[in-house]
């Protein structure tokens, strides 16, 4: 992790939760809702995953390119999971400092590093019941059966605590969880533009 200047103006909303819970789907639902909002940014992560893998739209790089970028300070935070490397571009910090609300697909394991890099963040934990996770990952078909089993058994902090945490259950309909997430984003935008 590389330290970046603490962002003061806007907020970083970090979306975390188990694989298959629907982080990308909930973010996608909100991105469509906020499509006309220039003050809300959905962060494009840099990942060593092929761009045609499906799911999240990301900047796809090779492992060597990722290492170069990391060494050149391209990332505010980077981490590894599932045999992949993930990076949050450093320039996001400037956009938040200018007052934007940025939303990023984070990582439970990397949350301490993300908090340390960005200061005051809001954390949205997207959850779903374990049988639902297994069914969704199998139906999504992005990973092999072996990879899916590894994802389902990944050990991460059970409880993500903090005043900055909101849990959103997405075991049911996407639009229900999506609307709850939209309300969370709007609360953070309102904090900035209309302080109480």
Ligand X SMILES: O=P(O)(O)OC[C@H]1O[C@H](OP(=O)(O)O)[C@H](O)[C@@H]1O
Ligand Y SMILES: Nc1ncnc2c1ncn2[C@@H]1O[C@H](COP(=O)(O)OP(=O)(O)OP(=O)(O)O)[C@@H](O)[C@H]1O
What residues are designated binding site for ATP? 17-24
Whether 66 and 46 have beta carbons less than 8 Å apart is answered as yes
| Spatial distance between the Cα atoms of 98 and 161, rounded to a whole number of angstroms | 28
Annotated binding site: 17-24
- Helix H or strand E encompassing 146: helix 145-152
Binding mask 95-114 for ligand X (x = CB under 6 A): ----------x-xxx-----
Min dist. Cβ of residue 124 to ligand X (A): 12
Order of strands across the sheet with 11-16? Answer: 40-42, 101-105, 11-16, 121-127, 165-169
Among 22, 87, 89, 106, binds ligand Y (CB under 6 A): 22
Examine residue 173 and tell whether it contacts ligand Y (CB under 6 A): yes
Min dist. Cβ of residue 22 to ligand Y (A): 3
Neighbours of 8 (CB within 10 A): 11
Residues 6 or more apart whose CB falls under 8 angstroms from that of 139 comprise none
**Token pair of 133 as six digits:** 């996770």
Judged by beta carbon distances under 5 to 8 A according to partner kind, the member of ligand X, ligand Y, none in contact with residue 174 is ligand Y
In the block, residue with structure tokens 């300070």: 73
Min dist. Cβ of residue 86 to ligand X (A): 4
Judged by beta carbon distances under 5 to 8 A according to partner kind, the member of ligand Y, ligand X, none in contact with residue 11 is none
Binding stretches for ligand Y (CB under 6 A):
17, 19-25, 55, 136, 139-140, 170, 173-174
Binding stretches for ligand X (CB under 6 A):
16, 19, 56, 81-82, 84, 86, 105, 107-109, 154, 156
């Amino acid at each position: 992790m590389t330290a970046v200047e603490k962002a003061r103006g806007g907020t970083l909303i970090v979306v975390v939760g188990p694989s298959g819970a629907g982080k990308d789907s909930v973010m996608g639902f909100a991105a469509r809702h906020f499509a006309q909002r220039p003050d809300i940014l959905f962060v494009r992560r840099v990942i060593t995953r092929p761009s045609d893998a499906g799911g999240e739209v990301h900047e796809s790089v090779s492992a060597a390119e990722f290492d170069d970028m990391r060494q050149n300070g391209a990332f505010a935070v980077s981490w590894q999971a599932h045999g992949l490397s993930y990076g949050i571009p450093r320039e996001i910090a400037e956009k938040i400092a200018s007052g934007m609300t940025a939303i990023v697909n984070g990582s439970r394991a990397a949350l301490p590093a993300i908090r340390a890099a960005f200061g005051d963040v809001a954390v949205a934990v997207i959850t779903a019941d374990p049988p639902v996770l297994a069914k969704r990952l199998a139906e999504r078909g992005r990973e092999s059966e072996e990879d899916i089993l590894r994802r389902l058994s990944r050990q991460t902090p059970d409880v993500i605590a903090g005043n900055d945490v909101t849990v959103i259950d997405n075991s049911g309909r996407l639009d229900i969880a999506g609307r709850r997430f939209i309300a969370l984003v709007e609360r953070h935008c309102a904090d900035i533009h209309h302080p109480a």
